[in-house]
Amino acid sequence: MTEQLRLMAVHAHPDDESSKGAATMAKYVSEGVDVLVVTCTGGERGSILNPKLQGDAFIEANIHEVRKKEMDEAREILGVHQSWLGFVDSGLPEGDPLPPLPQGCFALEDVEVAAGALVKSIRSFRPQVITTYDENGGYPHPDHIMTHKITMVAFEGATDTEKFPEAEFGPVWQPLKLYYNQGFNRPRTQALHDALTERGMESPYGDWLKRWDEFERVERTLTTHVPCADFFEIRDKALIAHATQIDPDGGWFRIPMEIQQEVWPTEEYELAKSLVDTSLPEDDLFAGIRDNG
């Protein structure tokens, strides 16, 4: 294929891009693919999860700007472009019964209206491939579920001049493939857990696996395994850049890099839509596109 390859990753908050598919993006950047991360919200209602920064009055008072700077650093590390859709973080409601979502937040936006902002980005960037979350959001955060909803509408709407006229949203563009991030899958978790216990090492995944059994979580279909082990260190650096969200001494980083690279050297995706012929399983998000130039 002679045309520039372009990948768009649609995420809910700053830091999601570094915890979901980051090594894949870094790999494609190294191959000359143009990669754009679209971040739907500013993460304004995200908790400060790094215990070393909890109680910092400046961060608490300026969380929006702090998370923006963290995103800038992660973007530079990954080598991607990044843009904001400008919606307001919904927060993660907790309690029984759950409290209502705050007025004006992303999850309460009209889906068609919110999708229009993403249609503009798609028509401007012109990606052949888009990645996002499945209908459960990967986990049931209202912003992740809303991200799924608007991406599905925008994938189709990018060519719909009636709903999204060219005068307002730009010339039409048809993305060719849509994937769901499925990096947090049971086969990967089990493989890493087993590798650690076989070596006499403590595994951080024991409770994860128990919860999987307790909640009888439906397994997703992993259609695409992208080899990207050489970029795991870049992934981790980008994740650590989101300092308010990630403790560098926490569970994310307890597994030695050499074990990760040996036992599970890929990131996984579920092919949700394809307008090109491809054979499953795949090892390339652009399978069926590179061959049709």
Q: Contacts from 250-258 at CB under 8 Å and sequence distance 24+? A: 251/204, 252/19, 254/202, 254/204, 255/192, 255/196, 255/204, 257/232, 257/233
Question: Which of 277, 286, 253 minimizes the C-alpha distance to 24?
Answer: 286
If DSSP codes are grouped into helix, strand and coil, which group holds residue 31? coil
- The string of DSSP codes covering 64-76 is HHHHHHHHHHHHH
* 148 annotated to bind ligand: no
Q: Who contacts 151 (Cβ-Cβ below 8 Å, separation ≥6)?
A: 10, 115, 118, 130, 132, 133, 178
The single-letter code of the amino acid at 59 is: I
Q: In what order do the strands lie in the sheet with 81-87?
A: 81-87, 34-41, 6-11, 129-132, 177-181, 266-274, 224-227
Instruction: Give the C-alpha distances (Å, rounded to integers) separating 271 from 104, 188, 268, 274.
Output: 32, 18, 10, 7
Which residues are known binding-site members? 13, 16, 144
Which residues are known binding-site members for Zn(2+)? 13, 16, 144
